Structure 1
Amino acid sequence: MNAAQEKEALLWGIVGITLFAATLPMTRLAVGSAELPQLSPWFVTFGRAAVAGVLSIGYLLWQRAQGRLKWPVRAEWPLLAVTAFGVIVGFPLFLALALRHVPSTHGAVVTALLPLSTAVLGALWFRQRPSKGFWACAVVGSGLVLGFMVWRAGGIYLGAANIYLLIAMTTGALGYIGGARLTPRLGAEQVICWVLVCSLPLTLPVAAWFAPSHATEIRATSWMGFVYVSLFSMWIGFFAWYRALALGAVRVSQIQLIQPFLSLLFAVPLAGERLDATTLVFALAVIATVYVGKKMPIASHPAPATTAKTTATKPA
């Protein structure tokens, strides 16, 4: 990759990560708080996927007109289902449920461990052999996140919101791995579009079921948050991020480390939250652990020629 391509890759990567970083505070705006609830977390989850799914139909039709449309083959449908479960339902739903009860700054610290969690699940999925240093980083990072959650919960019990965040992180990582397996043949943009379109029979009726009966009673800022996560977190952000990865996955994937910082910064003006020193310290510690962990070697078992290598991905 020459200097111009590297510059373009980094630029697209920064655009994608910046769009994704605002997902947490925008989701918080959309669902509101336990004291002043706004849109249902179920509506936000399935509604944002439905909006992006309808837009994806247009994109795939345009790709077909250009002669670039690739249809999923039979063997890829299970991976499409895994990806949909992770990035369409699991991650956004449990994130939205959690953010009803905790600030987005709290969620940013927990989800900072997502790249390392994806690497752990990827190593198990692809039967790779991570080094002892990698596993040490995974244990330390997990311990930091658990310690942070216990500290914020004020006792030994994590509470429902923290459990939701852990489920969101796990299902999100699973969805990213499924998408990575599909990307080499279908192309990154078409992967997310096919996942969204194939999910429409589920997302459209569920979104309609949980739609607010009195839409005018919902705050304008909540609708703004919903529009943002529908257009940018669920759709446009993937286009920028996947384009960056296609140009230079190794270098660009390191940009993920700045996403928690951006989420913390965005939470202050967008959601009106306060950033305290302890939260910032835990975030720095987790991100440092992820950075070291991603540098540790991972040996791969011999794989069949048809098995695709994992590609770094990032969600909403």
Structure 2
Amino acid sequence: MIELRPLRQFVAVAEELHFGRAATRLHMTQPPLTQAIQGLEREFGALLFERTRRSVALTAAGLALLPQAQRLLADAELLAPLVRAAAEGRRGRLRLGFVSTVGYGEMPRWLRGFRAAQPDIELQLREATWDVQLQAFASGDMDAGFAIHAPGGVPPGFEVLRVSSEPMVLALSSDHPLAAQDDIPLQAALALPLVMYPREIAPSLFDAMLSFYSAHRVTPQIEQEAIQMQTIVNLVSAGMGAAWVPEAVMGLQRPGVSYKRLRGDVPLCETSLLWARNAAPTVQHFAAHVRAQLSK
């Protein structure tokens, strides 16, 4: 294996074509420089310089070595700042999970700003429900994730940054008689058949909705289940039932769907950024970026 110091000495002589000037450039005397070049020639098994009393010239072997040696030395100069940047979280990879509802809010702006501020961090995005994100966290395939949950419903073992809190709103087919009303009675809304997500993708929010119905002495009539909010809204437009969705989903304008805010103490949906407590510095940078955006 060739060490960098002899290569640096070779490049100095090759660029100066003068052992004396090269020694001065390297802050050393000429005899040890000459010995170093001779040692390098022995290691390669080839002469690198043609020497006379009046001149120094590169041989064919020296000419072949020079650009490669210059490239290696240039790359070596980049190693220290690269390692420091990685250690400080300014370079690396961030594998970020997110639920679809976050895409209707501020996440696109946060990502755009983060990429501009940290161009050397590679963002790998993965749309995934919370149950899938948990599996990815457990297997080491995810660094951070946006999840929806009921207030206080964050699972233990994570650092948490709450990014939004919003009421659930009712999505119903535009041709439903209630869609024409500005103020829908709560009991009428609770009587509607539902399109709902399975409990495993948002357990705390699912349980909060069931508790909401129970508090009003109503048993929810779940007609259809779907995982993605886009699918839930599409099923609502097809007349398969009504759905409770986070307020941010109102940004998903789908023909045949009306969104209604109801009066009263409707359940809240929170969105949080979660990451492991021993997360990489890149995650800390992203969390700090999002926190800064929230404070504006």
Give TM-score, length-normalised by structure 1: 0.21
User: Which is higher, the Rg of structure 1 or of structure 2?
Assistant: 2
Which structure has the highest strand share of the two? Answer: 2
Give TM-score, length-normalised by structure 2: 0.22
